[in-house]
């Protein structure tokens, strides 16, 4: 049976038996879009801006947009110095050239994507510049930023504002992971003048870059790519962390413009089991968070992972320690000795000295054998395992996927423990607030709680970035960035009418909120500076969501399980809440503006969708059974036919094996594919240009191998 069918079966089995599968927690609080309060910034409403956060200063942010850079105040999301806005359009000549290449007017604009600060009064920015990337040095003169110098931006900035690229400025130099060509077919990791090898699938194989960061001596890149080491039929995408040394000077001789330190490893975000269920498509990472988990101080990075776009919608957030990432790069390398052999661990005696990929003072003096080895063996044998034994949170639903996670780190609760609070953005415009209430106690027990589910943006608008903002003397807030809208919303909803009783307030399990028994209000706890006396009248229970002070009798079941069932407030019917996935839609105007933007579909009719968990499981089981039966029948017929037909030539067969990386559609020996039609409702009724190619596929191909 094919791997993808297996994966579906494994998932169904896991969910059906509810064995190791972490129960998808139910949000305690749902907040509809029309109830969302907060400031917003829309930029120029006559077109899609493709907002990109460039720099975050203490009280302002720099936002790259279409032909402009906005300086936005974090106090109220208004533009600072709108009269001195940095305007940067493509030249007429570049635009003409872009039209000649067949691009649309919206594409032939300059979208600012990349930023590096070189001093208090100067910075470097790069933009798509009508499909001819350009970098520009800016300098402040009389309070206005003026252009100083233009340089070529190819390899530093994508051509297309929607391309999945990343860049980070470290130690005065720009490190970028993007594509260097117009059609987007030549990926690279680049820091002038050093780059990854051209069209070497061992190094980069159809990557989608999601983030990058400078850490210690290294620059790390997080991305997903087609896995060269995946040896079964079809192809698989794996999440990766790649790494280069900041002081890599290139190799000796002819390798002067090639990395001597590029290594990569697989990330493992999965639900364990006989067949671990992998969330392979990394979408984003958080900043590096330092905290105390299970009694140990460590640095974590959280990542959002999903299933492929044409399969069951599954999302997860996993945490990795920076130590475990560093450790994997100290471990064994992986290799495939000949084109048909398996990928195996390289024996230590076969690794040359000095160790390939290590950071050295002058990489130009490295011996050839070391440089050749690292070029041929960029992949580490071990995967980076997630820190907690389970994803911190998982969600299986057809309605949305996670896109981005931001963390309010180490929020002190009244129990004296510190919790990382996760804000997870989705591709349908909601923000899910979640935490693992067991994180301070244990790595093995994971107890996810979803405090709230807030439809921050109009339904269907994907959240691209999230930032937690703490300003002195102001309520903290969450900044939500979409393509054409920036919003600031409260970090908590303690004052929501849904939390107006002691039980309902404590059941939120939100370290930000506590029940004040003197005023009978659910109040926000000033989490950063605790007054011990305040605790006397404040009720909060992060781990169980119950407090004796509320008059709760201890008649309810004591939580002993690893995975906690969602606790519900009084009068709530658990069945309804558990089994229904409801989307709230604002039907009059899905985009919330008076005029649709140029790129948006017009006059879409959206209808609310309600699935029940039973329907989903039923549909899945049905689909699996059908595919099993059809698979068996056609397999039987096919084997009958094969028996009477001569075997194909061996060389052809080998060729087929060699082409494993080329995707499931290569013709040849086993060309008989079965179409499994998954009845997946259109996910985004509004249509989303970014994913259209994948989502428009009417059916999912499942390729069968008969052994
Ligand atoms: C918005 O953009 C259009 C064309 O791109 C321009 O003519 C107009 O002046 C801009 N409006 C504002 C408020 O900047
Ligand atoms: C943005 O405006 C604020 C407020 O005037 C200023 O302090 C800050 O330096 C500006 N940011 C940049 C990058 O110029
Ligand atoms: C990933 O982690 C799971 C446990 O969560 C484990 O069973 C599996 O072997 C790991 N896979 C890899 C490739 O390390
Ligand atoms: C802390 O980490 C060390 C090594 O990483 C481990 O041996 C120890 O058991 C951990 N402590 C706790 C309380 O988990
Ligand atoms: C690298 O350079 C530093 C000083 O620049 C020196 O102390 C160190 O010994 C050098 N390391 C190697 C391996 O040459
Ligand atoms: C970029 O990432 C998004 C989100 O994962 C995805 O929908 C889109 O297809 C990717 N773009 C490309 C060109 O692969």
Q: Say if residue 516 is in the same domain as residue 481.
A: yes
Of 225, 206, 261, nearest to 377 (Cα)?
Answer: 261
Regarding the beta carbon of 442 and ligand 4, being less than 6 Å apart is answered no
The answer as to whether 428 is a domain residue is: yes
Helix (H) or strand (E) holding 637: helix 613-644
Query: Quick check: 666 and 660 in contact, CB under 8 A?
Result: no
- Do residues 300 and 431 both lie within one domain? yes
Residues 72, 79: contact at Cβ < 8 Å? yes
Boundary residue ending a domain (552, 576, 600): 576
Residues 6+ apart with CB under 8 A from 186: 179, 180, 198, 199
657 in Cβ contact with 650 (< 8 Å): no
281-293 and 418-426 beta bridge pairing: unpaired
Same domain, 513 and 554: yes
- Ligand 3 nearest atom to the CA of residue 273, by list position: 7
The answer as to whether 614 is a domain residue is no
Nearest CA to ligand 6 atom 5: 283
Q: pLDDT tens digits, residue range 628-653?
A: 555 555 554 445 444 444 333 333 33
Q: What six digits make up the tokens of 211?
A: 């983030």
d(CA 183, ligand 1 centre) in Å: 29
The Cα–Cα gap between 524 and 493 comes to 8
State whether 444 and 554 are in the same domain: no
* pLDDT tens per residue, range 70-112: 999 999 999 999 999 999 999 999 999 999 999 999 999 999 9
Phi first, then psi, for residue 89 (nearest 5°) are: -105, 160
Assign residue 687 a region (left: φ > 0; alpha: ψ between -120 and 50; beta: otherwise): left
CA angle at 160 for the pair 159 and 161, rounded to the nearest 5°: 120
Tell me if residue 456 falls in helix, strand or coil: coil
Contact residues for 288 (Cβ-Cβ < 8 A; gap 6+): 213, 215, 299, 300, 301, 322
Provide the token pair at 679. Answer: 């009845």
Q: Cα separation of 150 and 217, whole Å?
A: 29
Domain tally, the chain:
2
* Any domain includes 689: no
- Which residue's alpha carbon is at the smallest distance from atom 6 of ligand 3? 272
Q: Are residues 523 and 564 in the same domain?
A: yes
Same domain, 499 and 563: yes
Q: Are 107 and 126 in contact (CB under 8 A)?
A: no
- List phi, psi (to 5°) of 381: -75, -45
pLDDT score of 379 = 96
Q: Are residues 415 and 486 in the same domain?
A: no
Residue 249 in any domain: the answer is: no
Q: Which pLDDT tens digit goes with each residue over 654-675? A: 333 333 333 333 333 333 333 3
- 434 and 565 both lie in a single domain: no
Distance CA 490, CA 521 (A): 18
Ligand number, closest to the Cα atom of 42: 1
The one-character DSSP state at 659 is G
Q: What is the CATH number of the domain that holds 536?
A: 3.30.1680.10
- 483 plus 546 within the same structural domain: yes
Angle at 277 between CA 271 and CA 278, to 5 degrees: 95
Q: How many CA atoms lie within 13 A of 323 on its CB side?
A: 6
Question: For residue range 147-191, what is the model confidence (pLDDT) as tens digits?
Answer: 999 999 999 999 999 999 999 999 999 999 999 988 878 999 999
3-state secondary structure 421-438: EEEEEECCCEEEEEEECC
Last residue of a domain, one of 538, 553, 576: 576
pLDDT of 588 reads 32
Q: Which domain holds residue 293?
A: 271-319+386-460
Residue 648 falls inside a structural domain: no
The CA 691 to ligand 6 mean position distance, Å, reads 6
Q: Do residue 501 and residue 570 come from a single domain?
A: yes
Tell me the CA–centroid distance for residue 275 and ligand 3, in Å. Answer: 9
- 700 within a domain of the structure (yes/no): no
- For ligand 2, the distance from its centroid to the CA atom of residue 260, given in whole angstroms, is 39
449-504 pLDDT tens trace? 999 999 999 998 999 999 999 998 888 999 999 999 999 999 999 988 888 899 99
Clarify whether residues 405 and 291 are in a common domain. yes
Q: How far, in Å, is the centroid of ligand 6 from the Cα of 462? A: 12
Taking CA atoms only, the protein residue closest to ligand 1 atom 12 is 44
Question: In the prediction, which pLDDT does 612 show?
Answer: 40
CA 123 from chain centre, in angstroms, equals 28
Give the range among 86-95, 328-337, 549-558 with minimum mean pLDDT: 549-558
For residues 543 and 491, state if they share a domain. Answer: yes
Closest CA to 45 of 593, 479, 460: 593
Residue 152 lies in a domain: no
Omega before 658 within 30 of 0, i.e. cis:
no
Selection from 195-199, 477-481, 557-561, 582-586 with the highest mean pLDDT: 477-481
pLDDT at 9: 52
Indicate which residue's Cα is closest to atom 5 of ligand 4: 296
Residue 536 lies inside a defined structural domain of this protein? yes
User: Which of 543, 576, 609 marks a domain boundary?
Assistant: 576
- Which pTM was predicted? 0.80
């Amino acid at each position: 049976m094919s791997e993808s069918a297996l994966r579906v079966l494994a998932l169904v089995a896991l969910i059906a038996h509810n064995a190791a599968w972490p129960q998808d927690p139910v949000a305690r609080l749902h907040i509809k879009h029309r109830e969302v309060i907060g400031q917003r910034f829309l930029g120029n409403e006559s077109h899609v801006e493709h907002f990109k956060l460039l720099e975050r200063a203490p009280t302002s942010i720099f936002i790259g947009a279409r032909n402009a850079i906005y300086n936005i105040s974090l106090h109220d999301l208004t533009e600072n110095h709108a009269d001195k806005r940095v305007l940067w359009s493509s030249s007429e000549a570049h635009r003409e050239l872009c039209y000649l290449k067949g691009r649309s007017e919206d594409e032939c604009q300059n979208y600012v994507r990349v930023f590096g600060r070189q001093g208090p009064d100067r910075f470097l920015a790069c933009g798509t510049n009508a499909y001819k990337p350009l970098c520009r040095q800016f300098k402040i003169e009389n309070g206005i930023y003026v252009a100083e110098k233009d340089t070529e931006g190819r390899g530093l900035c994508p051509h297309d504002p929607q391309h999945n690229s990343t860049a980070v400025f470290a130690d005065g130099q720009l490190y970028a992971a993007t594509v260097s060509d117009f059609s987007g077919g030549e990926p690279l990791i680049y820091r002038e003048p050093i780059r990854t090898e051209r069209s070497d699938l061992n190094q980069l194989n159809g990557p989608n870059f999601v983030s990058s960061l400078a850490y210690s001596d290294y620059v790390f890149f997080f991305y997903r790519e087609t896995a060269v080491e995946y040896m079964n039929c079809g192809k698989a995408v794996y999440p990766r962390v790649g790494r280069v040394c900041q002081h890599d000077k290139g190799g000796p001789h002819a390798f002067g413009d090639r990395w001597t330190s590029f290594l990569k490893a697989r990330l493992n975000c999965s639900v364990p089991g006989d067949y671990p269920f992998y969330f392979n498509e990394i979408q984003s990472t958080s900043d590096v968070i330092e905290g105390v988990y299970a009694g140990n101080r460590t640095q974590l990075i959280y990542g959002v992972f999903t299933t492929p776009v044409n399969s069951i919608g599954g999302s997860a957030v996993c945490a990795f320690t920076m130590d475990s990432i560093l450790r994997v790069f100290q471990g064994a390398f992986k290799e495939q000795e000949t084109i048909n052999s398996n990928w195996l661990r390289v024996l230590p005696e076969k690794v040359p000295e000095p160790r390939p990929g290590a950071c050295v003072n002058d990489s130009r003096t490295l011996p050839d054998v070391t440089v050749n080895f690292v070029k041929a063996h960029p992949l580490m044998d071990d995967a980076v395992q997630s820190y907690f034994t389970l994803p911190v949170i998982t969600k299986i639903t057809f309605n949305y996927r996670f896109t981005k996670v931001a963390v309010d780190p180490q929020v002190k609760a009244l129990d004296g423990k510190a919790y990382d609070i996760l804000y997870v953005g989705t591709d349908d415009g909601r923000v899910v607030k979640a935490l693992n209430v067991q994180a301070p106690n244990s790595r093995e027990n994971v107890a996810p709680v979803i405090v709230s589910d807030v439809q921050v943006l109009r339904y269907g608008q994907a959240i691209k970035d999230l930032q937690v903002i703490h300003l002195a003397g102001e309520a903290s807030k969450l900044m939500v960035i979409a393509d054409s809208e920036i919003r600031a919303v409260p970090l908590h909803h303690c004052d929501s009418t849904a939390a107006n009783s002691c039980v309902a307030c404590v059941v939120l399990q939100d370290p930000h909120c506590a029940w004040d028994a003197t005023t009978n209000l659910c109040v926000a706890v000033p989490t950063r500076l605790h007054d011990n006396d305040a605790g006397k009248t404040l009720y909060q229970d992060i781990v169980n969501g119950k407090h004796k002070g509320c008059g709760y009798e201890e008649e309810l079941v004591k939580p002993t399980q690893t995975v906690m069932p969602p606790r519900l407030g009084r009068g709530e019917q658990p069945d309804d809440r558990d089994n229904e996935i409801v989307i709230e839609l604002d039907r009059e105007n899905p985009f919330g503006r008076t005029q649709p933007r140029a790129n948006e579909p017009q006059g879409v009719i959206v209808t609310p969708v309600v699935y029940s968990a039973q329907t989903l499981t039923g549909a899945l089981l049905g689909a699996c059974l059908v595919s099993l039966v059809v698979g068996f029948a056609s397999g039987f017929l096919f084997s009958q036919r094969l028996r009477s037909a001569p075997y194909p030539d061996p060389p052809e067969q080998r060729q087929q094996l060699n082409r494993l990386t080329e995707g499931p559609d290569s013709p040849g020996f086993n060309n008989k594919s079965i179409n499994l039609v998954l009845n997946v409702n259109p996910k985004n009724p509004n249509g989303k240009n970014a994913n259209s190619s994948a989502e428009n596929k009417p059916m999912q191909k499942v390729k069968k191998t008969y052994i």
